[in-house]
């Protein structure tokens, strides 16, 4: 008996820790994205106001609002699991300090959240499908799909949860770790000598609805992902001449699309490469959210099957359920911030993952401004680029983003990757760099003419000048990205058509040349 109580207490502790972390993570997502919440219901003058402020800040997108919904239901779920072992009736579980009313209250919230979470995952995957296959704008998706989807989700969730509440089907689970759909007393449905005080055979109906909701949602997500993958392969086939391919070749191309997502192919133009990167990033996000969904609900599917037969799930499944089911919100925030963390760390290699994660969160799951980045770097005594001086230097500075590499490494093939992530989303920007290009081209030309005869002091002056020009060029480029309405969450533009402005690329190449002033001057010093 003591071993059993020790196992139960371990399960309770594991559940509370995981749910607490998930609650903090989901609350953070809702807080940093709070400005997106009312836009889906706004219209008229308020919508015009939103388009001038919030849309400009890239937060009022369906993607962000769907993530708010997922995070909100995870908050309800995590809160119910944190207090789950405590709100159960005091005479039935080791940690129970509650009563029937408290059990019904938090069990109702947990049931609502567990029904809504799979449906929001389907909606998120459907959003990716609309963006990739149907090239649907955010406003069109909002008007045609988003409002109706929210209404259907909450109508189904609300009616099902209320029906379970009014029929007395919400009671403590067999392990006593929380309250959900269950009969009281335990085992009464299979024992004719024990009368069910609450729930009875109606519990089977709600358990069946719960299981079918999760399984059908999983099938929907997998089907939508298959359509998305087929569409991406179809577009790539068209870009390579439109020749028919068998299944084996298509699968190989799909594997190449995933495994070499950040590598440019020799036969790709700039437009083809940018378009493939856009689609690949959306596909990766969809796959990651699907993985989180499956990992989160795997334990519940197994435990629900046992509860359907009024049996206690095995211990290994209890550990799986009590940890991963409660930890879903923390996984969601990792997937949500992944694109922006990657961009930020490529732009600033000196930042650690935790520093980048914190900066992205503080910026509202977006790229932070340079002042905040500089503040973090100064506090940690971490310069933007570390250059070893003197003839013993054994590293090279990647001039496009300030990263370092060992000698002998050829960074030229990845130069366009650096440009892509430093200037992510410049497909529709209309920037006039004419005067800057002429001025900077003159600076670069004069530097190359005098490079061999330049004194050390002159090189240092050129280094300072080059550093200033490099900083201005980067700030102007980054500012243009922020003001052009790039989707801040997926790291992609809202429009599905992609046109590369080659003036931007030329401007980027010139800023790379100006970085050489900094490198040569640093070595000379």
Query: Per-residue pLDDT for the chain (525 aa), expressed as one digit of tens each?
Result: 567 678 778 888 888 888 898 899 888 888 877 665 555 445 444 444 444 444 444 456 888 888 889 889 989 999 999 998 999 887 777 788 888 899 999 999 999 999 999 999 899 889 989 988 888 888 899 889 998 999 999 999 999 999 999 998 998 887 788 899 888 777 677 677 777 778 777 888 998 898 899 889 989 988 998 888 788 777 666 655 555 455 455 555 555 555 555 556 666 666 666 666 766 777 788 888 888 888 887 877 787 777 667 676 777 777 777 777 777 778 888 888 888 888 888 888 888 888 888 888 887 777 888 888 888 777 654 333 333 333 333 333 333 333 333 444 444 333 333 333 333 333 333 333 444 444 544 544 554 445 445 555 555 555 555 445 444 544 444 433 333 333 433 333 333 333 334 444 444 455 555 555 545 554 454
Please name the helix (run of DSSP H) or strand (run of DSSP E) that holds residue 171, with its range, or none.
strand 170-172
Contact 297, 315 (CB under 8 A): no
What is the pLDDT, as a whole number, of residue 471? 47
Cα(1)–Cα(365) distance, rounded to whole angstroms?
Answer: 48
pLDDT in tens, 441-465: 454 455 444 544 555 555 555 555 5
What is the pLDDT, as a whole number, of residue 237? 64
34: Cα within 13 Å, side-chain hemisphere: 5
Beta bridge partners of 486: 493
326: Cα within 13 Å, side-chain hemisphere: 26
What is the pLDDT, as a whole number, of residue 51? 45
Token pair of 491, please? Answer: 């790291």
Residue 501 main-chain phi, psi, to 5 deg: -85, 105
Token pair of 359, please? Answer: 């900066």
Measured from the Cβ of residue 58, the count of other Cβ atoms closer than 10 Å reads 24
Cα(120)–Cα(67) distance, rounded to whole angstroms?
Answer: 8
- pTM to 2 decimals? 0.65
Closest CA to 156 of 201, 123, 127: 123
pLDDT in tens, 237-278: 665 555 545 545 555 555 555 555 555 666 666 666 666 676
Domains of the chain: 2-346 (1.20.1070.10), 385-524 (no CATH)
């Amino acid at each position: 008996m003591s071993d059993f109580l020790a196992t139960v207490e371990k399960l309770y502790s594991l559940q509370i820790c995981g749910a607490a972390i998930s609650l903090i993570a989901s609350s953070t997502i809702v807080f940093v994205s709070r400005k997106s919440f009312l836009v889906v219901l706004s219209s008229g003058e308020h919508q015009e106001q939103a388009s001038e402020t919030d849309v400009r800040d890239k937060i009022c997108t369906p993607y962000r609002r769907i993530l708010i919904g997922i995070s909100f239901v995870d908050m309800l779920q995590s809160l119910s699991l944190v207090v789950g072992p405590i709100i159960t009736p005091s005479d039935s579980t080791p940690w129970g300090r509650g009563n029937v009313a408290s059990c019904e209250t938090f069990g109702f919230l947990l049931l609502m959240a567990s029904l809504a979470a799979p449906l929001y995952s389907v909606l998120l995957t459907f959003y990716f499908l609309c963006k990739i296959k149907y090239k649907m704008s955010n406003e069109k998706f909002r008007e045609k799909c988003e409002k109706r989807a929210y209404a259907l989700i909450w109508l189904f969730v609300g009616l099902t949860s209320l029906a379970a509440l009014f029929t007395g089907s919400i009671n403590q689970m067999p392990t006593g770790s929380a309250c959900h759909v269950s009969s009281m007393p335990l085992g009464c449905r299979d024992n004719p000598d024990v009368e069910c005080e609450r729930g009875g055979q109606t519990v089977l109906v709600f358990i069946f609805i719960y299981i079918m909701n999760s399984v059908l949602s999983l099938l929907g997500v997998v089907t939508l992902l298959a359509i998305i993958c087929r569409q991406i392969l179809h577009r790539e086939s068209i870009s390579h001449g439109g020749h028919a391919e068998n299944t084996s070749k298509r699968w190989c191309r799909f594997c190449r699309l995933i495994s070499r997502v950040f590598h440019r192919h020799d036969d790709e133009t700039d437009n083809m490469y940018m378009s493939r990167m856009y689609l690949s990033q959306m596909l990766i996000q969809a796959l990651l959210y699907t993985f989180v969904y499956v990992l989160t609900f795997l334990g519940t599917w197994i435990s629900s099957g046992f509860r359907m037969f009024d049996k206690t799930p095995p211990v290994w499944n209890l550990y799986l359920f009590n940890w991963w089911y409660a930890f879903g919100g923390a996984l969601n925030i990792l997937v949500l911030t992944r694109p922006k963390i990657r961009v930020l760390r490529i732009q600033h290699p000196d930042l650690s993952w935790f520093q980048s994660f914190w900066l992205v969160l503080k910026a509202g799951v977006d790229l932070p401004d340079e002042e905040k980045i500089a503040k973090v770097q100064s506090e940690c005594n971490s310069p933007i680029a570390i250059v070893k001086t003197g003839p013993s230097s054994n590293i090279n500075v990647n001039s496009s983003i300030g990263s370092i590499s060992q000698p002998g490494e050829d960074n030229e093939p990845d130069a366009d990757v650096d440009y892509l992530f430093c200037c992510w989303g410049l497909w529709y920007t209309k920037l006039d760099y004419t005067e800057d290009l002429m001025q900077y081209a003159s600076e670069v030309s004069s530097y190359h003419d005098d490079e061999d005869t330049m004194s050390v002091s002159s090189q240092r002056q050129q280094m300072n000048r080059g550093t200033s020009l490099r900083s201005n060029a980067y700030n102007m480029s980054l500012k243009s990205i922020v003001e052009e309405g790039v989707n801040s969450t997926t790291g992609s533009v809202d429009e599905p058509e992609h046109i590369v402005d080659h003036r931007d690329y030329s401007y980027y190449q010139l800023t790379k040349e100006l970085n050489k002033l900094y490198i040569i001057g640093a070595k000379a010093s």
